């Protein structure tokens, strides 16, 4: 019997496995490979699976999970399933419908964690990325606090056990945390985080607010041309990281994962290679010395692999200014009413 990933407690009392299996699929990889990889991951000891409406693969992930439930490997309560609210569903009246689509596609009764994928709303419709005639994204101003209230209702309805956010900065998190009438604060913030972008300030902030930081792109990236600058350095080829791997007689990937785990970060990783998937669980068999953690801290160079988020940051900033004005007006109105 393979060992199962350890877990940590979220601020709402639920637990989350510290090692999660990502389910994005590059165009060159058949979706059948995802089903196979997910089954292998469950057999290996993974219990945390990270998905999203955006990925358009929840049917396949759900199929893999159900097959392992049916063969007795796991029970539904053993699995921690994460999905994400896509940006075309930010209007409060649309939030639940996006989650219901996820549940229908995955054939699940609930998700363990539901998070806002991006702090930016796009115009509703059938297109994942709605654009105008010039190819520009069609964003719209939806108050994040209103979206969050709809997320809270999903939790109250039992459709999501926990709720959180992704790709938020500290200012955006503050908007939610300081929202009048806040019922549930985010349990996590999922962000790009790796040795070249160690998110130390965000990590400190999240710890101060009892919010778990979840890392994606933990091993760098899959070098997908759609999202990644092909000139960016390959993280796992870093000479300092490779030297550390030799010292501990581990792979560079395991060192990179172990580094994040020892910082208190929940780690998402992905592979379609059976040997690598099984290898990931070896990360719990060793520890990095404090002096080596400091050496790895020094690899930070503020480098993002997910260049797509860089393209939408200006739009997010514009919408944030609109949101802050709306938030101030709401606060003033509620304050006046209370007095």
Burial bucket for residue 309 (CB in 10 Å: 0-12, 13-18, 19+): middle
Query: How many whole angstroms separate alpha carbon 154 and alpha carbon 140?
Result: 22
Task: Please tell me the predicted confidence (pLDDT) of residue 159.
Answer: 99
Which of 247, 255, 236 is CA-nearest to residue 296? Answer: 255
Q: Is 189 helix (H, G, I), strand (E, B) or coil?
A: strand
**Would you give the end-to-end CA distance of the chain in angstroms?**
62
Element (H, E) at 132: none
**Residue pair 287/258 in contact by the 8 Å Cβ criterion:** yes
Angle between the N-to-C axes of helices 252-262 and 239-248, in degrees from 0 to 180, rounded to the nearest 10: 90
Query: How many whole angstroms separate alpha carbon 330 and alpha carbon 328?
Result: 5
Query: How many whole angstroms separate alpha carbon 246 and alpha carbon 256?
Result: 13
Q: Which residue has the tokens 């710890």?
A: 207
- How many other C-beta atoms are found inside a 10 Å radius of the C-beta of residue 239? 7
Q: Assign domain 7-314 one CATH number from 3.30.1700.10, 3.90.1170.50, 3.20.20.100, 3.40.50.1820.
A: 3.20.20.100
Query: How many whole angstroms separate alpha carbon 148 and alpha carbon 154?
Result: 10
C-alpha to C-alpha distances, 84 to 38, 71, 91, 112, 319, nearest whole angstrom? 18, 28, 15, 11, 20
Task: Please tell me the predicted confidence (pLDDT) of residue 179.
Answer: 97
Show Cβ contacts of residue 160 under 8 Å, excluding neighbours closer than 6 positions: 99, 110, 111, 112, 113, 114, 151, 154
The single-letter DSSP state of residue 234 is -
What positions carry a catalytic annotation? 55
Per-residue confidence in pLDDT tens, the chain, 339 aa: 468 899 999 999 999 999 999 999 988 889 999 999 999 999 999 999 999 999 999 999 999 999 999 999 999 999 999 999 999 999 999 999 999 999 999 999 999 999 999 999 999 999 999 999 999 989 999 999 999 999 999 999 999 999 999 999 999 999 999 999 999 999 999 999 999 999 999 999 999 999 999 999 999 876 566 566 677 899 999 999 999 999 999 999 999 999 999 999 999 999 999 999 999 999 999 999 999 999 999 999 999 988 765 555 455 455 555 454 444 443 433 333 333
Show Cβ contacts of residue 182 under 8 Å, excluding neighbours closer than 6 positions: 148, 176
Task: Please tell me the predicted confidence (pLDDT) of residue 105.
Answer: 98
Pairing verdict, β 121-122 and 111-116: unpaired
Task: Please tell me the predicted confidence (pLDDT) of residue 339.
Answer: 33
Q: Which residue has the tokens 């999203």?
A: 52
Question: Is 117 assigned a ligand-binding role in the annotation?
Answer: yes
Task: Please tell me the predicted confidence (pLDDT) of residue 330.
Answer: 39
CA angle 298, 302, 306 (to 5 degrees): 130
Query: How many whole angstroms separate alpha carbon 196 and alpha carbon 183?
Result: 36
> Could you tell me the maximum CA-CA distance found in the chain, to the nearest angstrom?
65
Query: How many whole angstroms separate alpha carbon 288 and alpha carbon 255?
Result: 8
Task: Please tell me the predicted confidence (pLDDT) of residue 195.
Answer: 98
Which of 300, 252, 305 is CA-nearest to residue 276? Answer: 252
Query: How many whole angstroms separate alpha carbon 272 and alpha carbon 57?
Result: 15
**Residue pair 297/204 in contact by the 8 Å Cβ criterion:** no
Show Cβ contacts of residue 312 under 8 Å, excluding neighbours closer than 6 positions: 118, 120, 137
C-alpha to C-alpha distances, 177 to 153, 170, 209, 337, nearest whole angstrom? 16, 10, 9, 21
- 278 strand-pairing partners: none
Task: Please tell me the predicted confidence (pLDDT) of residue 231.
Answer: 78
Domain boundaries, the chain: 7-314
């Amino acid at each position: 019997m393979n060992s199962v990933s350890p877990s940590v407690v979220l601020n709402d009392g639920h637990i989350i496995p510290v090692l999660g299996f990502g389910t994005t699929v590059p165009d060159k990889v058949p979706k059948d490979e995802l089903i196979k990889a997910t089954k292998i991951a469950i057999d290996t000891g993974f219990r945390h699976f990270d998905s999203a409406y955006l990925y358009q693969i929840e049917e396949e992930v759900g199929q893999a999970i159900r097959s392992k439930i049916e063969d007795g490997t796991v029970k539904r309560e053993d699995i921690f399933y994460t999905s994400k609210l896509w940006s075309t569903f930010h209007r409060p009246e649309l939030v639940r419908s996006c989650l219901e689509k996820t549940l229908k596609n995955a054939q699940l009764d609930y998700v363990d964690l539901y998070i806002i994928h991006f702090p930016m709303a796009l115009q509703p419709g059938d297109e994942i990325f709605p654009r105008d005639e010039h190819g520009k994204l069609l964003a719209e101003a939806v108050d994040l606090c209103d979206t969050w209230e709809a997320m809270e209702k999903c939790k109250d309805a039992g459709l999501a056990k926990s709720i959180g956010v992704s790709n938020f900065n500290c200012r955006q998190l503050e908007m939610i945390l300081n929202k009048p009438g806040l019922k549930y604060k985010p349990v996590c913030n999922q962000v790009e985080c790796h040795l070249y972008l160690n998110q130390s300030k965000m990590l400190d902030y999240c710890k101060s607010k009892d919010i778990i930081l979840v890392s994606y792109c933990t091993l760098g990236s899959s070098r997908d041309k759609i999202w990644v600058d092909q000139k960016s350095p390959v993280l796992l080829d870093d000479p300092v990281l490779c030297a550390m791997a030799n010292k501990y007689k581990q792979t560079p990937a395991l060192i990179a994962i172990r580094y994040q785990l020892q910082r208190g970060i929940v780690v998402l990783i992905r592979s379609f290679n059976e040997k690598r998937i099984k290898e990931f669980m070896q990360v719990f068999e060793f520890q990095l010395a404090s002096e080596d953690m400091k050496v790895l801290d020094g690899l930070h160079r503020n480098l993002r692999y997910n260049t797509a988020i860089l393209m939408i940051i200006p739009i997010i900033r514009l919408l944030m200014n609109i949101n802050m004005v709306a938030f101030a007006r709401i606060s003033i109105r509620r304050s006046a009413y209370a007095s």
